[in-house]
Chain A
Amino acid sequence: EAQVTQNPRYLITVTGKKLTVTCSQNMNHEYMSWYRQDPGLGLRQIYYSMNVEVTDKGDVPEGYKVSRKEKRNFPLILESPSPNQTSLYFCASRLAGVGTDTQYFGPGTRLTVL
């Protein structure tokens, strides 16, 4: 089954404790992206990657890092989480191109930073 998986689905952590949210897709998509979703704000792009070893900042990259060492994986790293990073995070992937291809979203990771 074609899908995007994220782990963990739920995470409660404390300020400053480094964490990684994994994202994996099995559709051989070149493009992968991370979003955060906050009430009333819609989804906002954190980072995206057009292909292996190619990453770039989205609209709200501060406090986050990503890596794309393999095509299927795109982990999101919070080196020193803060309470304002409490949010619902989605990973997504699609084929590269002009953006008319369907973007597939993962199930989401709900992160709480105390």
Chain B
Amino acid sequence: KNQVEQSPQSLIILEGKNCTLQCNYTVSPFSNLRWYKQDTGRGPVSLTIMTFSENTKSNGRYTATLDADTKQSSLHITASQLSDSASYICVVSGRSSASKIIFGSGTRLSIRP
């Protein structure tokens, strides 16, 4: 069964610190992996997208990595800010159908001053 699992479920860090969120997936064949940021009460917003051949992608203080062999991805946030408090969702698309998308349940990140 195609699955996307994220860890940790929730994380609290102090402002200015770095953190790394994890995503493991079993979706196969694999097409692409995205990370979304979802603020409370808002729709998800795309941060990065990586295809099979890419192993890292940056968007400002966000850096995503992908290891397609081990089916793992991480999202690293550098020098966290209060506005980084949100849920981060890993989404994996399978190649077998352009419309099949599997969402992880997200990591709830809280940045404390």
Contact = CB atoms under 8 A, between A and B. Distances in A.
A99 B42 contact: no
A107 B42 contact: yes
B49 A100 contact: yes
A41 B5 CA distance: 11
A99 B93 contact: yes
A46 interface: no
Contacts of A96: 98
Provide the main secondary structure of the chain B interface.
Answer: strand
Contacts of B34: 103
Interface residues of A, number: 27
B62 interface: no
B33 to A, nearest CB: 11
A100 B31 contact: yes
A11 B59 CA distance: 36
A43 B93 CA distance: 13
Interface residues of B, number: 22
Contact of A108 (B32, B43, B105): B43
Contact of A102 (B42, B49, B104, B106): B49
B43 A4 contact: yes
A74 interface: no
Contact of A103 (B46, B95, B105): B46
B16 to A, nearest CB: 29
Contacts of A97: 98
Nearest to A97: B98
Interface of B: 4, 31-32, 34, 41-46, 49, 51, 89, 93, 95, 98-99, 101, 103-106
